[in-house]
Amino acid sequence: MPRNLPVGNGEMLVAFDDLYRVRDLYWPHVGMPNHTCGHLQRFGVWVDGHFAWIEGAGWTRDLRYCDDSLVTEVQLRNERLGVALRCRDTVDYWSPVFFREVTVTDLHDRQRDVRLFFHQDLSIGENAIGDTVNYDPQTGGLIHYKDATYFLFNGCGSRSYGADTWATGQKRIRDAEGTWRDAEDGVLSRNPIAQGSVDSTIGFSLSLLAGGSSTVTYWICAGKDYDAVKALDDKVRTKTPQRMMARTEAYWRLWATKEDFDFSPLPKEVRDLFVRSELIVRTQIDHDGAIIAANDYDITRFAGDTYSYMWPRDGALVSYALVLAGQSELSQEFFRFAQRVIESAGYFLHKYHPTGTMASSWHPWMLDGKRILPIQQDETALVVWALRRHFRTFRDVEFIRDLYNPLVIDPATWMLRYRDSNGLPLPSWDLWEERRGVHLFTVCATIGALKAASEFAHEVGALDRASEFREGAQRMKSALLAHMWSPERNMFARMATSRPEGGYDLDFTLDASACGLFAFDAFDATDPQVVAHMHAVRDRLWVHTNIGGMARYERDPYHQVERYDFGRVPGNPWIISTLWYAQWLIEKAQTETELSEAKHLLEWTCARASPSGVLAEQFDPYSGDHLSVSPLTWSHAAFMTTVLKYLQRHTHLTGVSHGVQARA
């Protein structure tokens, strides 16, 4: 299920599914580890002898956020129970404390006895073996712990702090379903401790006057030992949950709107999704700098792995969106992370954990009996390219000084070495991680990176290096035109594979990643060859259903819907594919009328978002349902980039400033 409501602060991330159940709890890093392993953390309501879990029939749900902030605004209603719930969730902007404030209102115009139950099903460190949960009489809450990871679950009503009732027990052992079953009669066992594979439920009672309301606030504190979580619980009591939630709401609103962009050329829905995208992207960025691709644990059922890793390519393109948005602190932290993990030879490996260690990979180190590099070269190139965009915008010389050699000179020198005799990059894996060869996207990204390195070297007075990198970029562009452009087809090949006897076999599958032709300064967007190729992309990758959008490439099998008619549906529509095409429309626009063509694709993106503003990786071409992970950080960053590029181009065409950094 999509994670429709992620809330976090760079240290703790909590994500809800579309039935308003907590499914993921990450701490102390965004993306690592997930202490729920995607298991349901249930939320139930007992009213006058009747009980319902929030995922059950009879509830209406409206899952949204407060305007321009990282505090949820969820409305739940159950006519059978006769209650309405207003729920607000957030992670404190400063501390690893999650809050859920629940206000219950009577709908039957009579006095009501209400009990709220919050269920915890943790597998601490992504392993349920050896966990302990106990009732803590000092705080009145429940503590789950193992080794150096502690979680304290507590809450308060209008009169007192601490749980009114609780249960601890075992789950998924023999016939033990878990303590959530204990809540369904409205009475918990108050068992004080359990160990092994355990869960718990905590309950709070409240009384409603006829037509009245009452509020319970529930919180989770995370720390490395009991003293740490006890101190956080004390902090909540001293400052009060209401004050901590209010300051968090204000902080994120300030953070997301600090640049005061003028969005007037675009519809309000585009402006609102831009701000929401900023905030959702922020929830996916770890406090140590890693930009995580996605944190949606359900993908493990499909792939046996998650997207909770830092891919340098995704990170570089997301950091570029942050640069355009004026969020320099986050882009700086990403590049510092990149400096820590890059190989001494000057290239990046496949992907990384948020701690900086090498992540799981399917790229081999040997192929056909020969040693190869298990890399996607575009990942290395795009970090160099994005760093240049950061520096163009912020001119932070002191920051760049320590990065110049490891993230500019070393990678650019390696890229010059890692070429064939024609001047094209040697084979590596493509950005979709499916094919090994010489890829159009990779070649264009490398040209952009070498140009960026040349600019850096020229500015610091290393004129010999500047010339070497510039000439390398020029030779690579000439080789691209000589070997990957087909005058007969009037298009570029997406991939070239070297023949033993010389030359290349070419793959002319249409691929949306052809945006690399103009996106990284390899070619101008108005170059006739680029124009011809992008027209072919539009003609052959558009999805001809009511959903619309652009497929990733022709006959894309990833999450393929069984009833594909490839004549109408070349693949599932992707946000990034569609917005890449929009970015080309923006780059080539010479009039406001031409520019407005891209506006329709921004509006298309808004229509694909969930009511909360979450964007998936891709969508069912017939129903529009979210497919694969959701939210995908790259999707939101692509939307941010496209919106800001639109405003930049509007300024260029009209002379009216919209507050967007012009140099990036």
Helix/strand/coil for 303: helix
* Alpha carbons 426 and 417: distance in angstroms, whole number: 9
| Whether residue 334 sits in one domain with residue 480 | yes
| Whether residue 210 sits in one domain with residue 332 | no
* Alpha carbons 31 and 505: distance in angstroms, whole number: 40
Q: Please tell me the predicted confidence (pLDDT) of residue 1.
A: 65
Tell how strand 72-78 and strand 83-91 pair up: antiparallel
| Whether residue 176 sits in one domain with residue 147 | yes
Answer yes or no: is 663 within a domain: no
* Alpha carbons 511 and 554: distance in angstroms, whole number: 7
Answer yes or no: is 388 within a domain: yes
Residue-wise pLDDT for 457-479, tens only, equals 999 999 999 999 999 999 999 99
Q: 222, 255, 288 — which closes off a domain?
A: 255
Q: Please tell me the predicted confidence (pLDDT) of residue 527.
A: 98
| Whether residue 247 sits in one domain with residue 263 | no
Q: Please tell me the predicted confidence (pLDDT) of residue 2.
A: 84
| Whether residue 147 sits in one domain with residue 15 | yes
Number of helices and strands (H, E) in the chain?
Answer: 17, 30
Residue-wise pLDDT for 135-188, tens only, equals 999 999 999 999 999 999 999 997 789 999 999 999 998 888 899 999 999 999
Domain of 268 in residue numbering reads as: 258-654
Report residue 633 CA to chain centroid gap: 3
Answer yes or no: is 662 within a domain: no
Answer yes or no: is 542 within a domain: yes
Answer yes or no: is 361 within a domain: yes
Angle at 411 (CA atoms; ends 405, 413), nearest 5 degrees: 90
Answer yes or no: is 659 within a domain: no
Q: What is the 3-state secondary structure (H, E, C) of 423-443?
A: CCECCEECCCCCCEEEEHHHH
Report residue 274 CA to chain centroid gap: 14
Identify the helix (H) or strand (E) that includes residue 171: none
Residue-wise pLDDT for 300-324, tens only, equals 877 789 999 999 999 999 999 999 9
Mean pLDDT, range 333-341, rounded to an integer: 98
Q: Please tell me the predicted confidence (pLDDT) of residue 663.
A: 67
Indicate the range of 168-182, 314-328, 355-369, 370-384 predicted with least confidence: 168-182
CB 168 within 8 A of CB 186: no
Q: How much of the chain is in helix, strand and coil states, percent to nearest 5?
A: 35, 25, 40
Residue-wise pLDDT for 201-223, tens only, equals 999 999 999 999 999 999 999 99
Tell me the H-state helices in 288-396.
Answer: 300-303, 312-324, 328-341, 377-394
Residue-wise pLDDT for 602-655, tens only, equals 999 999 999 999 999 999 999 999 999 999 999 999 999 999 999 999 999 999
| Whether residue 266 sits in one domain with residue 207 | no
Q: Please tell me the predicted confidence (pLDDT) of residue 320.
A: 98
Q: What percent of the chain has pLDDT over 70?
A: 99
| Whether residue 432 sits in one domain with residue 580 | yes
Burial of 26 (0-12, 13-18, 19+ CB in 10 A): buried
| Whether residue 636 sits in one domain with residue 488 | yes
| Whether residue 280 sits in one domain with residue 244 | no
| Whether residue 331 sits in one domain with residue 221 | no
Residue-wise pLDDT for 412-434, tens only, equals 999 999 999 999 999 999 999 99
Q: Please tell me the predicted confidence (pLDDT) of residue 406.
A: 98
Report residue 145 CA to chain centroid gap: 28
Strands annotated E in 594-644: 618-619, 626-627
CATH number of the domain residue 89 falls in: 2.70.98.10
| Whether residue 544 sits in one domain with residue 460 | yes
Residue 137, number of CB atoms within 10 A of its CB = 9
pLDDT > 80? residue 502 = yes
Answer yes or no: is 182 within a domain: yes
* Alpha carbons 332 and 319: distance in angstroms, whole number: 9
**Domain total in the chain:** 2
The confidence band for 546, taking pLDDT boundaries of 50, 70 and 90, is very high
Residue type, 51: F
pLDDT > 90? residue 69 = yes
| Whether residue 472 sits in one domain with residue 550 | yes
550: its two tokens: 């652009």
pLDDT > 80? residue 337 = yes
To 10 degrees, the CA torsion angle through 512, 515, 516, 518? 160
Q: What is the CA radius of gyration of the chain?
A: 26
> What is the pTM assigned to this prediction?
0.97
* Alpha carbons 394 and 372: distance in angstroms, whole number: 38
First-to-last alpha carbon distance for the chain, in angstroms, is 36
CATH number of the domain residue 337 falls in: 1.50.10.10
Answer yes or no: is 661 within a domain: no
